[in-house]
Amino acid sequence: MLQVESLTKSFDDFMAVNGANLSVGKGEIVAVIGPNGAGKTTLFNLITGALKRDRGRIIFKGEDISELPPYKICKKGISRSYQIVNIFPRLTIFGNVQVAVLSQQRRSSNLFRPAQNIAVKETRTILETVGLLDKENNIAVSLSHGDQKILEIAIALGNEPELLILDEPTAGMSPEETLATIELIKRLAQIRGLTILFCEHDMEIVFSIAQSIMVMRQGQTIIQGKPEEVRHNPVVQEAYLGVE
């Protein structure tokens, strides 16, 4: 579904991503791991168009998307959540998700119908799936950090993506919240048939849900393979797992 080939991005003299390769099959759960500064978030920013790549190709469903702006990439079926909470703080929980749903249904430019009557069912379904329905009228900024991270995912679901990219979905969460989020991710993959690409520091989480793991170091792909292959790869053990 998604192929990343020899992707390169530098900031001044610093090579943030330096020839990264990644392959994500339809319906797969793929994890990207690597030490801090390995280029994971930059890689996600490149795939979703938030940053422009220097060299390399990003192929999604057979089409080169590396030149497209973020909003067009989103319309192609790629949606993402952020490592640092990135929501609409002044809108309600409902409003946060509805913005994405309206955009998906191409109804954002409707000028005269009250928004409160549009896309209500779809928005509530998503809120119910992630467990935020009882708080739908709260202002987003008033939520706990854990709930804001869940809202992150809910907004991303509003676009009915085929490929969902999650950048450290459990960062800063309590152990209970982390467990609940892992269950949610698994459920989303099963019920919605989503393809999920995520990065995460917690190795236990990664090895428990990922079907394929890509290891990055200094912007480069060391290996991509099944969890067992990655675990026993000597380069990975030396470069990353050993250090952990």
Partner 1 sequence: MSLNMVVGHGGMFQFHHAVFYGVGAYTIALMLTKTSMPIWVGFIAGPIAAAITGLIIGWFCVRLTRLYFGMLQISLGSLIWAIVFRWYNFTGGDDGIHGIPMPSLISSSRGSYYFILIILLICLVLMYMILKSPFGSTLQAIRDNSQRCEAVGVNVRHYQLLGIVIATFFAGVAGVLFVVLERSVFAEMLFWVLSLEIFIMCLLGGWFTFAGPMLGAAIIVALRTFVGKYTEYWTLILGVMYILVIFFLPEGVMSYFQEIFKTQTKEVAQGGQSIDAASGKPH
Please report, as ranges, the residues that interact with partner 1 according to CB under 8 A. Answer: 48, 50, 69-71, 74-75, 79-80, 82, 86-91, 95-96, 98-100, 102-104, 107-116, 118-119, 138-142, 155-156, 158-159
Q: Which is nearer to partner 1, 140 or 230 (CB)?
A: 140
Closest alpha carbon to 156 in 198, 100, 107 = 100
Closest alpha carbon to 96 in 134, 129, 146, 137 = 137
* Residue linked to tokens 């380069």: 235
Query: In whole angstroms, what separates CA 63 from the centre of its chain?
Result: 20
Q: Are 5 and 57 in contact (CB under 8 A)?
A: yes
Q: How far is the CB of 229 from partner 1 (least distance, A)?
A: 33
Q: Which is nearer to partner 1, 80 or 149 (CB)?
A: 80
Q: Which is nearer to partner 1, 69 or 193 (CB)?
A: 69
Distance CA 43, CA 55 (A): 12
Q: Which is nearer to partner 1, 88 or 240 (CB)?
A: 88
Query: How, if at all, do strands 212-217 and 29-33 pair?
Result: parallel
Q: How far is the CB of 105 from partner 1 (least distance, A)?
A: 9
Tokens of residue 197, six digits: 């690409």
Q: How far is the CB of 162 from partner 1 (least distance, A)?
A: 13
Q: Which is nearer to partner 1, 4 or 102 (CB)?
A: 102
Tokens of residue 234, six digits: 């000597």
In 10 A of CB 231, how many CB atoms? 14
Q: How far is the CB of 95 from partner 1 (least distance, A)?
A: 6
Q: How far is the CB of 37 from partner 1 (least distance, A)?
A: 22
